Amino acid sequence: MCGAEENLYKCKIEDTILQVCKSCGRHGTIIEEVKKPQPKKELPRETIERNTIIQVINPNYHQIIKNRREELGLKQKELGQIIAEKESLIHKIESGHLEPSMSLARKLERFLKITLVQQHEERSVEIKRESDDVVTLGDIIKIRKRS
């Protein structure tokens, strides 16, 4: 009740069980002393950092494709015929409503002589412990601070 956190007692006050200090316990009936939890010993753990390179399509793909097609003086229908794709697909890609698949992006790169696919490095951290304990947010914060 007073906010003290040392030497707590389980106490029944007005039909409610509370953990209170000894002086606040006089407002009710002390049932028992609350045992302090034993501090957890820090278990050895191993952190493994992995860097993975993935390929992603440039977020401005629609502008790049449209600008290059217009530089070449092609209409969407003509570009579609040359690369064996429908005009409606070219329209959706250029309007930004559809991201091309990786194979279609490569096909557009080859014909239009542009770069759409980029290399992106993704970093991940794996935590291994000797026991089956759960990884806590505190563990993750400690790892982020070390990085």
Cβ neighbours, 10 Å, residue 107: 15
Token representation of residue 66: 């449209």
Question: Distance (Å, rounded) from C-alpha 54 to C-alpha 56?
Answer: 6
pLDDT, tens only, 98-145 = 999 999 999 999 999 999 999 988 887 776 666 556 667 776 776 666
Question: Distance (Å, rounded) from C-alpha 82 to C-alpha 94?
Answer: 16
First to last CA, the chain: 41
Question: Distance (Å, rounded) from C-alpha 139 to C-alpha 47?
Answer: 11
Question: Distance (Å, rounded) from C-alpha 14 to C-alpha 36?
Answer: 25
pLDDT for residue 107: 95
Question: Binning pLDDT at 50, 70 and 90, where does residue 78 land?
Answer: very high
Q: List strands edge to edge, sheet with 29-33.
A: 16-20, 9-13, 29-33
Q: For the chain, which domains are there?
A: 1-35 (no CATH), 52-120 (1.10.260.40)
Kindly report whether the global pTM for this prediction surpasses the value 0.75: no
Q: Where are the beta strands (DSSP E) in 58-134?
A: 117-129
Which of residues 51 and 140 earns the better pLDDT score? 51
Q: Once rounded to an integer, what is the mean pLDDT over residues 67-86?
A: 95
